[in-house]
Structures are given as C-alpha cells and as structure tokens.
Chains A and B, each alone.
Chain A
Amino acid sequence: MVVRKEATPPNPTPSRKRSWLRPLALLVVLLGWEALAALGLLNPLYASSPSQIGRALVELFATGQIWPHLEATFGAALWGLGLGVLIGGSLGLLAALVPWVGEILEPFMLLLNAIPRIILAPLLVIWFGIGLASKVALSLLLVAVLIFFAVYTGIREVDPRLVERIRTLGGGRRVLLREVYLPSVTSWVLSQLKVAVGFAFTGAVVGEFVASSRGLGYLLNFAQQNFNASLSLALISLIVAFVLLLFAAFGALERRLLAWRSNR
C-alpha cells in the first residue's frame, strides 16, 4: 500500500493561566478582614480575625488535642467515600446492565436522591450508635446515591456506535464491559468524585454534630456552645484545607486517567 504523508494536528498544549490572581485575591480579603478586626469594626464574638483563627489552629496542633478528632472525622469520611463509591458504583453497574434490577432500583434511588439524606442522621445514630458506624453510614448514603447515578447514566449514555464497533470486531459482553462501559463510566465517576468528597465530609461532620464523643463535628458543636468563633472558623478552615487537598489529588487522578480527552 502506498505511504502518504498527511498533516498531523499538533498535540494540544495547556493554555497559560493567571495563576497568581486567586492567591492574591485571597490575600487581599484576609488583610482587609484583619484590618477591620484590628480597627474594632468587627465583633470578635461573631467574626474573629485571621490572626486569631491562626492562633487557634496552632494551639489545636501544638497541644495535640486535634489528632483524635481528625482521625475520627477522616476515618468516617474516607470509609464512607470508599464504601459509597464501591456500593453505589456496583449497584449502578448492575442496574444499567440488568434491566429488571434497574427497574427495581431506579425509583428507590430517585426517592433517596430527592430527599435531603442528612435527615436520616438521627435514625442512623439509633441504628448504629454514636460511634464511627453511624457517621460512615451517613457518608456512604450521601456518596452512594451520587455515584449510582454517575455509573447508571454513564452506561446508559455510552455511544452505541462504539458498542456496534466492538460487536463487529467479534467482542462479547466481557469485552464490551472492559473496553467500552468501564472507560466510559470512569469519566462520569471521576467528574463526580470531587462532589463526592464534599458529601463524604458533610456526612461525617453532620453525623458527629448529631451525636458523638469526638471528631471535627463534635468540636464544632463544642465551639458553637461556647460562642468561640475563632475555634469554629479554625475548624472550618481545616476541613476546607483537607477537602482542597483531596480535590487536588482527585484532579491529578482525573488528568492521568482521562488523558485521552480532547479538552485536557
């Protein structure tokens, strides 16, 4: 066969971003906030100040009292996230590939999705006690429903041309699952993972808020009862920092696993 040369599109290069703009904006807000607090224009009972929040954070780590609480919240959130992805993903896969399972599961999942699942927290405490299990259960519930729909929709919206392609190449169900459904679903799930991280922490912290003897939610409850805005904001910034770290980790995973996408 004759070899012909044809113009090849260049590999896409990442666009340059003004990466300094966001940190600068954050710094301006923090400095402004600090100045307002120093001038006595903010009531420390409600808003505290960045320096006081920083001091509260340093104290939490210096005394070491934060570690058991961090361990409890992270344990609950990560277990909830892991189990939620596993259970939600498996059910989504089953519902999409076995029509009668889909017919049974879809209305239940739609109902679970429609209600604010946080309201189940007190019930879960009654069922599983005030320990880790009730927090894991709440995180799991929040994450599983989200991932179920990501997988279920992902499989149902697979490009039918790709399915036919595999069939005409001689591939059966196993090849279809490995080569078409799973890669297609991965992009849907990865796009939902960042939301799932937020849900997992919401489940863990709200569960601790309702009833617990440790965890960041428990500490937040304690800070609220003592009108300690510095501690409240220190704990909130701690949760935000860890969630952002997980976001970055999932972002890196997404870039690696979805390198085939044209817009990346």
Chain B
Amino acid sequence: MLHIEHLSLGYGPTPVLHDLSLSLRPGEFASLVGPSGSGKSSLLRAITGLLQPQTGRLELGWKPEEVGFLFQDDALLPWRTARQNVALGLKIRGVEAKEAERQAEGWLERLGLSGLGARYPHQLSGGQRKRVALAQVLALHPRLLLMDEPFASLDAILRAQITEDLLEWVEREGISVLLVTHDLEEALALSDRVYILSGGPKARILREFAVPFERPRDPLVVRADPRFGPLLRELWQTLEVAVWS
C-alpha cells in the first residue's frame, strides 16, 4: 500500500504541497482533484522518486519496479517503433530482446493495435499513441498505476473508450491506481476515493470523499445512478471553495 504522512514538497523555499496525508490500499482506485498548481503532478513525481519530498513520510508498499507511471504526454521515444517502445521497459527489466518484442506485440494486439507495431509514433493517431503508452506500462504488470491526466488531450469518445478498457483491466488485475485529473465526473465515475486539493502554494487536502459505487463498475452506468448527481454537486461545491480560496 501507499502511505503518505505530513508530506511537503516543491521546487523552492515555499512548498507547493504542504502537510499532506493520504493512503491507498491494494486494489483501490483514488483520484486527486484540484486547481492547477496545487501540486498533484508533483505528488506523483515524488511517489516515483523523480522529486524528493522536503518533509514528511512517504511509504511505498510496492517495489519501485511494481509502479507504473502514465504521463500526461505519451512521451514515447520518437525514434523507436510502437513495438520497440512497448518492449523497452521489458528489456530494461532484463527480458531478452526477442521475447520482449514478442510480448510487446501481444500487448499491442490486446489494446487494439494489431499490425501497427512497426509504425513510428508520428505515424499513429493521438489515441493510438496513448494506447502504446498504456501498453508500455501494463506490459510491466504494475501493482500501482500512477496516472497524470493521461487522456486529457483526447476527444470525449476516444477518452471514454480507453478509460473503459483501462478500468476493466485494473479491476480484473486488482491494480491500485492514483489518478490526477481535472475532471470531477471522471474522478467520481472511476474512483473509490476522491481527494480534493486546495490551490497552491501550500496546497492541502480540503476533503476526502468515499465513493459508494460497487465494483466491477461501468462508468456509463455509474453516471446514470441517482446518487451520482448529488455527489458530483457536493464535490463541485468543495472544489469551488478550493479554487476561490
């Protein structure tokens, strides 16, 4: 599990995030929602070790190689084909090159990218590039998936499709997820827990919401649930305070 206590982090003397505490249980899906500059992405970077916390405690119950990070940009190597990009993480983990490429091809197939393995990123559409990035992370069988608004740049239909596919995979494999998003509906439809952050600097958790919908879950069905509207309104009111405070 992930356990964070009184964490402060940032890039200068004034922390972006201050005195933050949260925890994530195995198989739990949590979302962080907050205004821009509230340190949501910085928190994910701190969890992966890309950023050192200034104070506080960050306990990660998974090994570093069990943590997958899905970036806002697909961040694929432009000089590697889709297959090579997916195989890269496997090769870094010591999988023999041929076997890594075979597994990569399997992942591309599973994500609806059959026959596109030899294409370079610029020869793929935005949605396909996202799927390659997703395949790259899922191929490493993460136990914790950190996602920094990974599908924000996609159109609504594509976004819904990829999110649904991902949710199905996450639920089946029991993967823990920490999602950073600006989309309150998305946070509510996907998560077991939603954390609302105040504006930065010195952002903090304003409120923690437990989401009552059962799993496995269909985001479309959840949105039609009579409890969804009132919950969304409550979340929105809290976020409004965060934005204007």
* Chain A interface (Cβ < 8 Å from any Cβ of B): 1-9, 11-12, 159, 161-162, 164-171, 175, 179-180, 183, 259-262
Contact = CB atoms under 8 A, between A and B. Distances in A.
A162 B77 contact: yes
Contacts of B69: 168
Give the 9 A-B residue pairs with the shortest CB-CB distance, closest first: A262-B122, A168-B69, A169-B89, A165-B75, A3-B112, A183-B79, A260-B79, A260-B120, A161-B75
A2 B165 contact: yes
B93 A170 contact: yes
Contact of A4 (B78, B125, B165): B165
A175 B121 CA distance: 20
Contacts of B124: 8-9
A12 B50 contact: no
B174 interface: no
A12 B111 contact: no
B71 A6 contact: no
Contacts of B127: 6
Given A1-B111, A6-B125, A8-B125, A168 B77 contact: no
Contacts of B111: 1, 3
A5 to B, nearest CB: 7
B20 interface: no
22 contacts: A1-B111, A2-B112, A2-B168, A3-B112, A6-B125, A6-B127, A8-B128, A9-B125, A12-B123, A164-B45, A164-B50, A164-B75, A165-B77, A166-B88, A168-B48, A168-B68, A169-B89, A169-B92, A170-B92, A180-B77, A183-B79, A260-B80
Interface of B: 45, 48-50, 64-65, 67-69, 71, 73, 75-80, 88-89, 92-93, 109-112, 114, 116, 119-125, 127-128, 136, 140, 158, 161, 164-165, 168-169
A11 B125 CA distance: 11
Nearest to A165: B75
Interface SS of chain A: helix, strand, loop or mixed? loop
Contacts of B158: 6
A1 B110 contact: yes
Nearest to A167: B50
A169 B124 CA distance: 22
Contacts of A3: 109-112, 114
B112 to A, nearest CB: 4
A165 B71 contact: yes
Nearest to A169: B89
B145 to A, nearest CB: 11
A6 B77 contact: no
Contact of B112 (A6, A7, A261): A6
Contacts of B168: 1-2
Contacts of A164: 45, 50, 71, 75
Contacts of A4: 112, 161, 165
A262 B123 CA distance: 8
Contact of A259 (B65, B76, B120, B140): B120
Given A3-B109, A169-B89, A179-B88, 12 more contacts: A1-B168, A2-B168, A6-B127, A8-B125, A9-B125, A161-B71, A167-B49, A167-B50, A168-B48, A168-B50, A259-B120, A261-B78
